[in-house]
Amino acid sequence: MQSPWRTTLLAAGVLALFLTPSLEAQENGRITGVVTESGSGGPVSEAQVYLPDQALGGLSRANGRYLIINVPPGTYTVRAERIGLGSAEQEVTVGAGETVTADFVLEELALGLDEIVVTGTAGAARRREIGNSIAQINVTELPDKPVQMVDLLQGAAPGLDLSATGGELGVAPAIRLRGNSSVSMSNNPIIYIDGVRMRSEPLAHVAAPDNRGIRGSNTSKTPLNSINPNDIERIEIIKGSAATTLYGTEASAGVIQIFTKRGSVGAPQWTLESQQGAVWSRKFGNYPDSPFPYLRMEPFIKTGHNQYYIASVRGGLENLQYFVSGAFSDQEGYLPNEYSDEWVTRGNFTFTPLPNFQIQWNTSYSSESAQQLSQSNAQGLGHNVYRGKANYFTDDSPDVIAASVLAFDIRHTIDRFTTGGTFTYTPLADLTNRLTIGYDWLQQDSRNLRPFGFRFRPRGALLNHHWQNRLITFDYVGTYSFDLMDGLRSNFSWGGQAVGDDEHTVEAWGEGFPGAEEPTVNSAAATQGFEERQKVWNAGFFFQNVFDINNKYFITGGVRVDGNSAFGEGFGLQVYPKISGSWVLSDEDFWDPGMGSLKLRAAWGRSGRAPGAFDAVRTWEAAGLNDLPAFLPQNLGNPDLGPEVTTETELGFDASFIDDRVAIDFTFYHQLTTDALFAVLQIPSNGFQTSQLENIGELKNEGFEVSINTTPYRSANYEWNLGLNVSTNKSEVLDLGGAQPFQASQGTWIVEGEPVPVVRDDYVSNPDEIADPIRERNHIYGPNFPTHNIGPSTSLRLPGGIYISAAGEFKGGHFLRDSNVHPGGISRGGKMPLCWPYYEDKANNTNITLLDSTPALWRARCTPSLIDSGYLTWDADFFRLRSLSAQVPVDFAFPDRISSALLTLALNNSYTWKRMPYLDPEMRGNQGGQDLAQAIAARNPTPISFRASLRIQF
Amino acid sequence: MTTTNRRLTAVALLLAAFAGACEVTNPGPVQDRFLDDETSHAALVRGAERMVLETANFVFYTTSIVTRVLFPGGDTNSHSPRIQGGSLPPEDVNGDWNNVQQALFIANSALERGVTGENLAQAHIWAGYTYRILGENWCEWLEGAGAPQPPSAALDNAEQHFTAALGAAANSTQSNAAYAGRAQVRVAKGDWGGALSDAAQVPPNFVFEVRPDPDFEATRSRVGWANADEPYRQFTLLFTFFGEQAPPNIRSLLPLEASDLPVTIPGTGYYAESGDPRVAWHRIPDQPFANASLQGFGQVPWSNFTWLDPETPIHLGTGTEMLLYRAEGMLRDGNYPGAMELINQVRSMYISDNTGEPLAPWDAMSLEAAWTALKTERMIEGLLEGRRLVDLRRWAADGSPGEAPFPAWEELSPLFAEAPTATCFPIAENEVNRNPNLGG
């Protein structure tokens, strides 16, 4: 196919040329000035300053300065605005060749009650109208934008939890909004970008068929990293069914909507940025008396170098505006065989051919080439390093391990093309129609090669894995507003949505190469092919009405009706209702404006989650045996299968006090999932041994979220901000529907009365006794996911525009099992540093005899025939300093033509406090967030990273 | 048509289109009803064959470890340390149980769907061998989420299926397979008259086997893979009847380093003495150790079978085994010279790697010595064929004389002394936890 990115770039370049205003005519004037924030007097960057009636405008730079050129003589209204701040207008008169100064002061809107949000609402709504909580991340405001989207989302909002899955590059984290509300289906929220549904599940896991599931990197790449954080204007997050009703069957895990930057009226404004950085590993083997601070990984750990380059331009005329960007990143991990080179391009165009008709068309293309390390399997680095001589070649020499394992070559090429347009037609002032169509195409082409002579497969083996996912979005919404009576206005909305999800995998496998040349699959002596195809359509329509009473009281009612191709015969259309209300208390007459602002809100709603494409049907696998077909039982089937339905109630308030210096957002939520889909393990003697989904369970999820932002001090030169996000989540299995407790994944369980999921495993009931261990089966340790997240942050603005910020994250209340780092080594008769204090003879590498004084727990942990993962279950509380950054304006070092130059130094994940004595709580294996549960695996912890970037604007 | 009607029609059409949009047919998995079609029956019966293969694959390997035919190397990919020590706890045998149950389900499903002709006989054969494996190896068993039954009930079912297979057999392979299977079942039941009658029907050179498919990892011979250093070296022949015997000072050498490895002591170990190709093994200098360590022993010196690889077929019934049944029948009648003749007939079918001549016959000057020869020969001839666990159990039960080789390893590692050696499989934990008849 013709490379779509080339087409995009070409079009963007041509348009940029056409849209660039001609050289400033001598007779025209200029408008310039500084945009500052009212409270502190500090500069405001990226504020749009424009002449509403003219095709003229510009963006403010980091120092707050803006410039509008080519202004014909005359008198104009000039407006300045930015998300999170109010707008301001001034009237100016420009003479021929004259430069007029107009400074703007924008007020910080702690609550932003009149700010427009669109996620979870029909059409768009002001914040004051919305009865549910909606988190908004104003990315433009962030002083230090990370290179990767997942880093941007980390700890960004209360109730949003990203659990990193090891320190490898680009690995998908588990993303949770308000915890796990499903046992069997994905708990990843669905994601939209500019109204177009994009894949939010991790990319396909690539593993060779000779041991399906584990011969590879054992990670999945995240679909989020194809988005350049610098392209994003804001992110809206709705977290539960009270808010996601209008998204229907696929939305009970929440919705994240990303809005990218749009063009602005005015001359082209360029931004260029260069980043250089490094990543390295923290110590994770802090065992007493052990010489292995990195658990024998020392010879393989290095400092990885990263570089990142960004260029963007935005501008436009009155009827057509553009934002075009490109970015290139080149990253190395801190372990061998890990790199990623990625291009991301974007072109966003806003076309207004008629006053009442607008087209917004956004397109992005990204391409990543990556290499991954083989991990968490017998032919991977971790297993063979951590286990010492109990590895798979009984040799712990680094040279032998490197020669044996690092030849395993896993490479991916990941391409993504996302395009979509929103057509907004407003035939009448009170009637708006909006149609969005979108297409998200994601392809992963992988080669998983063990070359000829590979230690574990001497004849060599190659898997070519070709995976594609296409998502098609159709979304229409109409809104008609009218006055029912004096003081009572009605906004009636209607609409429909259809999302088609088409996924297919084609694999070619070959083994037995004739020699050491670079092979293809057809070089192999034996070849096989595999194919999987799966298509799911979900479509629905909805109605919603908002009653607006005196602009203070708002009541919203709505209903969504859904169909899904995965529903069984017994289910037809699903109906999801919602109702919510908000009361802007501070607009009441009795409210003293000096007390600040306060909005109370309450919401109730339902949404669902569909089963998989094949779950309702009894199926057999067409397998084979010696070149002849054979059938094996596959899926028991359940014709009555339907979606699980989550009903959520939210109560909360948004408030600001003390001259908007303190802003508080509080939400309590209670979710009840009925008809919960449980993968009920079948009785083996009935023949079908895979689990079968049944709508039998009931789950509860509740907690609160608080976001507090304060400004203890501010003046013209100094400002100190403090922020705190706190969220709790308590989940519980209320009813198993008659099923027995069952294993979820990673050794966790679904047990009535316990969290979703709970760590349940073997336990030593006499841990400190100097005696043989007493084994207690099925001991309940506790929740597997954090029950409370605390995210403190602070920032300091100093004279000269210097800005220092820090953000941390505490996660607690959860437990993680060490699934295979220590148990794997110990059960194989290896000597692990964990047990060093208890070995009778430490020097001897293989003789495992424990001291007589060894307590029972450690006897269980260190004896090969007794070891069980349960004995290595840790309280996983930890705090990590996620970011520490400083920004220094360096305009002085550049010619005047450069309007802004900013140097940023950032250190990420530099400090960690953790309760578990060994390893690292983010050293996890869950194959990229797909699993319900998580456990410590033979991977590596999140790296510490340092970045220095220089951003210039002109 | 009124405006209202037109609007209702439009809404109805919209809903119909909407419902239609959700109709998707995905390729791939085969819907159950398709298997009722006669054209699917051969593939369904072959599904049963595949699961018999997977069952034998795991069960025969596991029983070889437990009966000390193979010395474990410490690797836990196939067997937990507990199984390596010789016990069979319910939580460690879920895979064996799942496989045997699925084999049973597919074979019975084929019969319920009315397979005919050659497929009918073959379905009975697979059902028969599956019940045979259950009856010979499990302490108690069940099917269809039912209540536990004694092994004899599985053996009865096996016998019925083999009898039915004989009635429907379309060729000599099917009839020989059915006779061989029924003889095995009758021996396990103690019906020697019936067993010897069936055994006599099977030609000495007959082999009924299931063949691994290299394209499917689950069918590859597990014991072959464990033997193949790709990457597993899960067991060794050292300390076994076939391999090098431990030097007297082995304890003082533990843990072993490469330089301590016991050298081949001429005249020790069955293979060194006999050159019997059925147990041929060697040591690969580049790989001195198995790929893990054994508790209390350390790294395990590695030696492996020369003839065994992941594609080696697995024998279910053979003519040579029938000869040994006939020999055992004679021993039970006190006719040890006649028995020795049959035992040595089996041995004469193999050429010694040492001499290039047929294997030297066993000598037995007494009934007890003949029993020892028989028990030894059954272990060799039935190597990795899942015969030994049931043999040891039935010989222990009937108190037959003679020594069945069973090396004493308790000194080598506490693994071998910690739990009693299992004589049969329990019902697996997966079944116990879910089957209401077992309190699940």
Query: Residue A72: which pLDDT band, with cuts at 50, 70 and 90?
Result: confident
CA distances from A633 to A187, A616, A621, B98, B108 (A): 28, 15, 6, 12, 13
Q: Is B213 in contact with A625 (Cβ distance < 8 A)?
A: yes
Contacts of residue B434, defined as CB under 8 A and 6 or more positions apart, other chains included, come to A681, A682, A683, A684, A740, B440
pLDDT at A483 > cutoff 80: yes
Q: How far is B365 from chain A (nearest CA, A)?
A: 44
The number of beta carbons lying within 10 Å of the beta carbon of residue A276 is 14
Interface contacts A/B by beta carbons within 8 Å: 230
pLDDT reported for residue A7: 42
Q: Is A112 exposed, middle or buried (0-12, 13-18, 19+ CB in 10 A)?
A: buried
| pLDDT tens per residue across all 440 residues of chain B | 455 555 545 555 555 455 555 566 677 788 898 999 999 999 999 999 999 999 999 999 999 999 999 999 988 888 999 999 999 999 999 999 999 999 999 999 999 999 999 999 999 999 999 999 999 999 999 999 999 999 999 999 999 999 999 999 999 999 999 999 999 999 999 999 999 999 999 999 999 999 999 878 889 899 999 998 877 889 999 889 988 776 655 655 555 665 665 555 555 789 988 999 999 999 887 788 888 888 878 788 888 999 999 999 999 999 999 999 999 999 999 999 999 999 999 999 999 999 999 999 999 999 999 999 999 999 999 999 999 999 999 999 999 999 999 988 888 888 898 878 999 999 999 899 889 999 76
pLDDT reported for residue A3: 43
Q: Are strands A255-260 and A266-280 parallel, antiparallel or unpaired?
A: unpaired
CA neighbours closer than 13 Å in the CB half-sphere of residue B117: 5
The number of beta carbons lying within 10 Å of the beta carbon of residue B117 is 12
- B46, B144, B291 ranked by CB distance to A629: nearest: B46
Residue B196, helix vs strand vs coil? helix
Q: Is A780 exposed, middle or buried (0-12, 13-18, 19+ CB in 10 A)?
A: middle
- B14, B28, B53 ranked by CB distance to A533: nearest: B28
Which residues in chain A have Cβ-Cβ distances shorter than 8 Å to B74? Answer: 390, 828-829, 864
Distance CA A148, CA A333 (A): 14
Residue B170, in any domain of the structure: yes
**pLDDT for A512-550, tens place per residue?**
999 888 899 999 998 989 998 888 888 899 999 999 999
Residue B440, in any domain of the structure: no
CA distances from A842 to A433, B72, B250 (A): 75, 25, 22
Residue A587, helix vs strand vs coil? helix
pLDDT reported for residue A716: 78
Residue B107, in any domain of the structure: yes
Bigger pLDDT: A684 vs A23: A684
Q: Is residue A258 a contact partner of residue A232, using CB atoms and an 8 Å limit?
A: yes
CA neighbours closer than 13 Å in the CB half-sphere of residue A376: 28
Give residues 667 to 686 of A whose Cβ lies within 8 Å of B: 681-686
B192-199 and B172-189 helices cross at what angle (nearest 10)? 160
Which residues in chain B have Cβ-Cβ distances shorter than 8 Å to A504? Answer: none
Task: Quote the tokens at residue A582.
Answer: 């908000």
Distance CA A433, CA A397 (A): 68
pLDDT at A724 > cutoff 70: yes
Is B431 near chain A, with CB under 8 Å? yes
Q: Is B47 in contact with A613 (Cβ distance < 8 A)?
A: no
Q: What is the mean pLDDT of residues A224-246?
A: 89
pLDDT mean across residues, chain A: 87
Domain count, chain B: 1
Backbone angles phi, psi at B315, to 5 degrees: -80, 135
pLDDT reported for residue B134: 98
B388-398 and B41-66 helices cross at what angle (nearest 10)? 60
Residue B271, in any domain of the structure: yes
Which residues in chain B have Cβ-Cβ distances shorter than 8 Å to A623? Answer: 47, 50, 216
Give residues 562 to 601 of A whose Cβ lies within 8 Å of B: 563-565, 567, 573
Quick one: CA dihedral A629, A635, A639, A645, positive or negative?
negative
Please tell me what DSSP assigns to residue A547.
E
Q: Is B230 in contact with A635 (Cβ distance < 8 A)?
A: no
Quick one: CA dihedral A816, A820, A825, A828, positive or negative?
positive
pLDDT reported for residue B11: 53
Backbone angles phi, psi at A869, to 5 degrees: -55, -30
Residue B408, in any domain of the structure: yes
Query: Residue A14: which pLDDT band, with cuts at 50, 70 and 90?
Result: very low
Instruction: Give the H/E segment covering residue B397.
Output: helix B388-398
Residue B422, helix vs strand vs coil? coil
The highest-confidence range among A636-645, A718-727, B283-292, by mean pLDDT, is: A718-727
Which residues in chain A have Cβ-Cβ distances shorter than 8 Å to B101? Answer: 684-687, 689
pLDDT reported for residue A846: 60
Distance CA A166, CA A151 (A): 14
- A392, A526, A619 ranked by CB distance to B31: nearest: A619
Bigger pLDDT: A651 vs A13: A651
Distance CA B270, CA A619 (A): 50
pLDDT reported for residue B5: 57
Residue A266, helix vs strand vs coil? strand
Most A CBs within 10 Å, among B14, B24, B211, to test the A interface: B24
Is A738 near chain B, with CB under 8 Å? no
Which residues in chain A have Cβ-Cβ distances shorter than 8 Å to B440? Answer: 683, 740
Most B CBs within 10 Å, among A452, A459, A631, to test the B interface: A631
The number of beta carbons lying within 10 Å of the beta carbon of residue A797 is 22
- B22, B109, B255 ranked by CB distance to A539: nearest: B22
**Closest of A343, A489, A452 to residue A6, by C-alpha:** A343
Q: Is residue B321 a contact partner of residue B382, using CB atoms and an 8 Å limit?
A: yes
The number of beta carbons lying within 10 Å of the beta carbon of residue B414 is 18
Which residues in chain A have Cβ-Cβ distances shorter than 8 Å to B255? Answer: 844-847
Query: Residue A207: which pLDDT band, with cuts at 50, 70 and 90?
Result: confident
Q: Is the peptide bond between B231 and the residue preceding it cis, with omega within 30 degrees of 0?
A: yes
pLDDT at A939 > cutoff 70: yes
- Hey, which bits of B48-185 come out as E strands? 71-72
Q: Is residue A268 a contact partner of residue A311, using CB atoms and an 8 Å limit?
A: no
Most B CBs within 10 Å, among A383, A457, A573, A683, to test the B interface: A683
Distance CA B266, CA B270 (A): 11
Q: Is residue A939 a contact partner of residue A925, using CB atoms and an 8 Å limit?
A: yes
Give residues 822 to 841 of A whose Cβ lies within 8 Å of B: 824, 827-830
Query: Dmax over Cα atoms in chain B, in whole Å?
Result: 109
**pLDDT for A78-120, tens place per residue?**
988 877 677 888 999 999 888 899 999 887 766 677 777 777 7
CATH number assigned to the domain comprising residue B409: 1.25.40.390
Bigger pLDDT: B253 vs A590: A590
Residue B184, in any domain of the structure: yes
Residue-number span of the structural domain to which B314 is assigned: 37-296+308-433
Q: What percent of chain A has pLDDT over 90?
A: 51
Task: Quote the tokens at residue A752.
Answer: 């009535």
Contacts of residue B125, defined as CB under 8 A and 6 or more positions apart, other chains included, come to B161, B162, B165, B174, B177, B178, B181
Q: Is B51 in contact with A391 (Cβ distance < 8 A)?
A: no
Domains of chain A and CATH, by start: 4-106 (2.60.40.1120), 116-265+277-532+541-953 (2.40.170.20)
Distance CA A327, CA A149 (A): 13
Is A700 near chain B, with CB under 8 Å? no
Which residues in chain A have Cβ-Cβ distances shorter than 8 Å to B46? Answer: 625, 628-631
**Which ranges in B138-171 belong to alpha helices (H)?**
151-168
**pLDDT for A540-556, tens place per residue?**
999 999 999 999 999 99
Q: Is B387 exposed, middle or buried (0-12, 13-18, 19+ CB in 10 A)?
A: buried
Distance CA A326, CA A638 (A): 48
CA neighbours closer than 13 Å in the CB half-sphere of residue A782: 14
Distance CA A947, CA A254 (A): 32
pLDDT reported for residue A242: 82
Distance CA A684, CA B97 (A): 8
Nearest residue of A to residue B16, measured between CA atoms:
A563
Nearest residue of A to residue B439, measured between CA atoms:
A740
Residue B26, in any domain of the structure: no
Q: Is B75 in contact with A623 (Cβ distance < 8 A)?
A: no
The number of beta carbons lying within 10 Å of the beta carbon of residue B258 is 11
Query: Residue A40: which pLDDT band, with cuts at 50, 70 and 90?
Result: low
Which residues in chain A have Cβ-Cβ distances shorter than 8 Å to B51? Answer: 632
Backbone angles phi, psi at A215, to 5 degrees: -90, 85
Residue B302, in any domain of the structure: no
Q: Is residue A818 a contact partner of residue A761, using CB atoms and an 8 Å limit?
A: no
**Closest of B321, B316, B315 to residue B200, by C-alpha:** B321
Judged by average pLDDT, the poorest of A864-878, A924-938, B10-24 is B10-24
Q: Is residue A221 a contact partner of residue A199, using CB atoms and an 8 Å limit?
A: no
Q: Is residue A164 a contact partner of residue A909, using CB atoms and an 8 Å limit?
A: no
Q: Is A565 in contact with B22 (Cβ distance < 8 A)?
A: yes
Distance CA B420, CA B135 (A): 21
**pLDDT for A134-189, tens place per residue?**
898 888 878 778 878 888 888 888 999 888 777 888 888 888 999 888 888 888 89
Please tell me what DSSP assigns to residue A263.
-
Q: Is B24 in contact with A392 (Cβ distance < 8 A)?
A: no
ipTM over 0.85 threshold: yes
Is A530 near chain B, with CB under 8 Å? no
Bigger pLDDT: A882 vs B23: A882
Give residues 135 to 174 of B whose Cβ lies within 8 Å of A: 142-146
Q: How many residues does chain A have?
A: 954
Contacts of residue B429, defined as CB under 8 A and 6 or more positions apart, other chains included, come to B90, B91, B93, B94
